[in-house]
Amino acid sequence: MKVLFLSNAASIHTVRWVNALANRGHEIHLVFKKDDQPRDNEISNKVILHSLKYGGNKAYFTSAFELHKLYKKIKPDVVNAHYASGYGTLARIAKLKPLILSVWGSDVYDFPYQSKIKMNLIKKNLLYADKIASTSNCMADQVRKLLNSNSVDITVTPFGVDIEKFSRKNESQNKEKICIGNIKTLAPKYGITDLIKAVRILKDNLVKKGLREISDNIVVQIYGDGMQREEILDLIKQLQLEDTVELKGRIPNHEVPAALEKMDIFCLTSVFESFGVSAVEAMALELPVVATDVDGFKEVVENDVTGIIVQRKNPAAIAKALEKLVLNKETRLEMGKNGRNRVIELYDWNRNVDTMLELYKSIS
C-alpha cells in the first residue's frame, strides 16, 4: 500500500507510525513543513521524506499547491493527515483524497475554542475527511461534541508500546531508595511544579509520622526539558529538595525503558492529557502510576487497580497517593503486574498498527 503521511517529522509519534508502517512493507511518503524537519536520525531509511518549501503557520495555506502537485506525482492509495488544525487544513485545501484525519489533542480540545473562525476551520476539516482516527475514546467523544453528533464513526487507534522493548529486563532489586519518576516536557500543562510541591508534602508527612528514614530514602527523577526548567530548579531550591529531586534532561524514546526500570512509582501530574502514552509506557514496565484526573489518564489508568487517580492541581492529594505506595511495596508490585497485563490487552503497539492498517484498507 502506498501512503502519503502528512505530519510533523520531528514528533516521536510521527516517527513511530511511519517506521512501523514502512517496516510492514508499505511505501510510506512522509510530507512535512520546512520547519518540521526530522531530528536525531530516528526515521527509518525505508520512509521516503518530502520537505515542503514553506514553514510556519502560513504554510498550512501557502503549501497547498505544492502539496497537490506532490500528491498527483505520488498517487497514494490513502492520505493520513495528523493534527486536525494544521495539517488537516493543508490536506483539505490541497484537496487530498481519500483522507484519514488523525486528531491528536489540543487540535480538538483547545484550538476550536480560541475563536469562531478556528471552530469553523476545525469543523470543515473534520467533515472533509473520509475517516477520522483518535488515540483515545475520550478524544473521539470530543470530536463528536464538536460536530454535534453522537453518530460520527471514529476509529480509536491507541498509541501503544512495543511490549517487548517496554518490558522489565531485571527483577526488582532489594534497595533502600524508593524512586518516584516522571518523563514529560517541562511545561505548565504537565504540572511538574505540583509534583515538586507534593514531594515536599510527602517527605514532611513521613517525618511527622516518625518515618524520617523512609523520607530520606525517597529520590525523584524527572526526565525532560522545556520552558519551565529554571522555574522548576528554583522551586526545588526553595523547597530544599536539592538532595531529593534530580532533573535528568531529555532522553530519546529508545532510552525510556531503561529509565523507567530504575523507578518504583511513576507520577503524572498533568492538567490536560488527551491520551496517556507515558502512563502506558510506565505500566508496561510494571510500575504503579499516580496520575491526575484528566481524561487521557482516566482512560488508561484503572483506579486502585493499576494505579491511583488523584485530583489535578492538588499537591496534597498527590502526596497522599504517593505515600500509600511508598509505604506498601506489595501494593506497588500488585498494581505494577496489573498495569502490565492491561497494556498487553489494550495497548500492544503491533495490534494498534494492525488497527490503523485496517482503517487504511477500508477506504483505499
pLDDT tens profile 190-238 = 999 999 999 999 999 999 999 999 999 999 999 999 999 999 999 999 9
Residue 91 CA to its chain's centroid (Å): 23
**pTM metric for this prediction:** 0.87
Model pLDDT, residue 287? 98
Q: Say if CB 220 and CB 184 are below 8 A apart.
A: no
Consecutive H or E run containing 156: strand 154-156
pLDDT above 90 covers a percentage of the chain that reads: 94
pLDDT tens profile 36-83 = 999 877 899 999 999 999 999 999 999 999 999 999 999 999 999 999
Place of cell 460536530: 147
Exposed e or buried b per residue across 14-30, where buried means at least 16 C-beta atoms within 10 angstroms of its C-beta:
bbbbbbbbbeeebbbbb
Within 24-181, residue ranges assigned H as helices are 59-62, 64-74, 87-93, 106-109, 116-128, 137-147
CB atoms within 10 A of CB 364: 15
Q: What is the mean pLDDT of the chain?
A: 96
Radius of gyration of the chain (CA): 22
pLDDT tens profile 128-184 = 999 999 999 999 999 999 999 999 999 999 999 999 999 998 765 557 899 999 999
Angle in degrees, CA 57, 59, 64, rounded to 5 = 140
Give the separation between CA 308 and CA 261, rounded to whole angstroms. Answer: 20
Model pLDDT, residue 173? 53
pLDDT at residue 253 is higher than 90 = no
Q: What is the mean pLDDT of residues 305-318?
A: 98
Q: What is the mean pLDDT of residues 85-102?
A: 98
- The three-class DSSP label of residue 28 is strand
* CA-closest candidate to residue 37, choices 53, 26, 19: 53
Place of cell 516522571: 182
Place of cell 496517556: 276
Output the CA–CA distances (angstroms, integers) from residue 74 to 69, 119, 297, in the order listed.
9, 32, 39
Give the separation between CA 327 and CA 148, rounded to whole angstroms. Answer: 47
> Omega into 98 within 30° of 0, i.e. cis?
yes
* CA-closest candidate to residue 143, choices 130, 159, 126: 126
Give the separation between CA 145 and CA 258, rounded to whole angstroms. Answer: 40
- The three-class DSSP label of residue 242 is coil
Output the CA–CA distances (angstroms, integers) from residue 216 to 206, 244, 319, in the order listed.
9, 8, 15
Give the separation between CA 242 and CA 226, rounded to whole angstroms. Answer: 19
Model pLDDT, residue 37? 96
Consecutive H or E run containing 334: helix 329-346
Model pLDDT, residue 171? 65
| DSSP assignment letter at 303 | B
Which distant-in-sequence residues (6+ apart) come within 8 Å of 117 by Cβ?
Answer: none
Place of cell 531503561: 258
The C-alpha cell at 296 is: 487521557
Give the separation between CA 265 and CA 172, rounded to whole angstroms. Answer: 12
Assign domain 2-160+348-363 to its CATH superfamily.
Glycogen Phosphorylase B; (3.40.50.2000)
Q: What is the mean pLDDT of residues 233-257?
A: 96
Model pLDDT, residue 47? 98
Class of domain 178-346: alpha beta
| DSSP assignment letter at 348 | B
Which distant-in-sequence residues (6+ apart) come within 8 Å of 107 by Cβ?
Answer: 83, 84, 85, 86, 88, 122
pLDDT tens profile 7-35 = 999 999 999 999 999 999 999 999 999 99
pLDDT at residue 299 is higher than 90 = yes
C-alpha torsion 48→51→52→54, nearest 10: 170
Model pLDDT, residue 42? 87
Q: CATH 3.40.50.2000: which residues of the chain?
A: 2-160+348-363, 178-346
pLDDT tens profile 265-274 = 999 999 999 8
